[in-house]
Structure 1
Amino acid sequence: MSKELGNRISILLKKQGLQQKELAERVGITEGVMSRYRSGTRDPKPETLACIATALHTTSDYLLGIENDEFSYPRVRRLIARNASAMSDEEKKELINALFGGE
């Protein structure tokens, strides 16, 4: 069981001002199951891990401790690809402006 996963979920929850219950609802699992993931007594299935990563705007590799650099190019690319369909047009415009320096 992965304590690293639980620690990283906890850190991201705090950074984003989310509660465990909110994350569980976004992922489609119970709060009790999320609690077990955070405590390291249970590991999520790969598809659940991907949903947790998406809900926390990160990658599965980061949550598992495989990737430590929060701002690496490959990570940012995966985040954009994973989250683009859920972004509003305004968020997409802001992202393009941030990436290309547009006003």
Structure 2
Amino acid sequence: MGSPVDELCLVCHERDDGKVKWLKCLKCKLGGHSTCTRMTGLKSNASEVNWVCDPCALVIKSEVHLREEINVMKSDIIEIKNMLKDIRLPENLQNSVMAALPALTDRVTLAGEEA
């Protein structure tokens, strides 16, 4: 039914008997019986199911959360830059703060690329 003979179900650890649909995780490519696995995906058509196992789903949720946090930090940096333009700081202080912001932006961007 589409599973390798030597592959075991992620949940019951039994081999595919061909009686029920065999699902493969889209991320880690491990599989399981459709009756054993909790459906976390949506059916795309009758012959194929988009499914992600629970451990991979947690990783994906963490990655999405991290990207959202990074986007918030980037928008905060833009706000700070705009606020600094409006504030009258001594020129040397404003220059040092403005000089530090690109480095902070680069670090946030780098963290986003690593995620």
Q: TM-score range by the shorter chain?
A: under 0.3
Structure having the larger proportion of residues in strand: 2
**Higher relative CO (CA 8 A, sep ≥ 6), structure 1 or 2?**
1
Q: TM-score of the superposition, structure 2-length normalised?
A: 0.25
Q: TM-score of the superposition, structure 1-length normalised?
A: 0.26
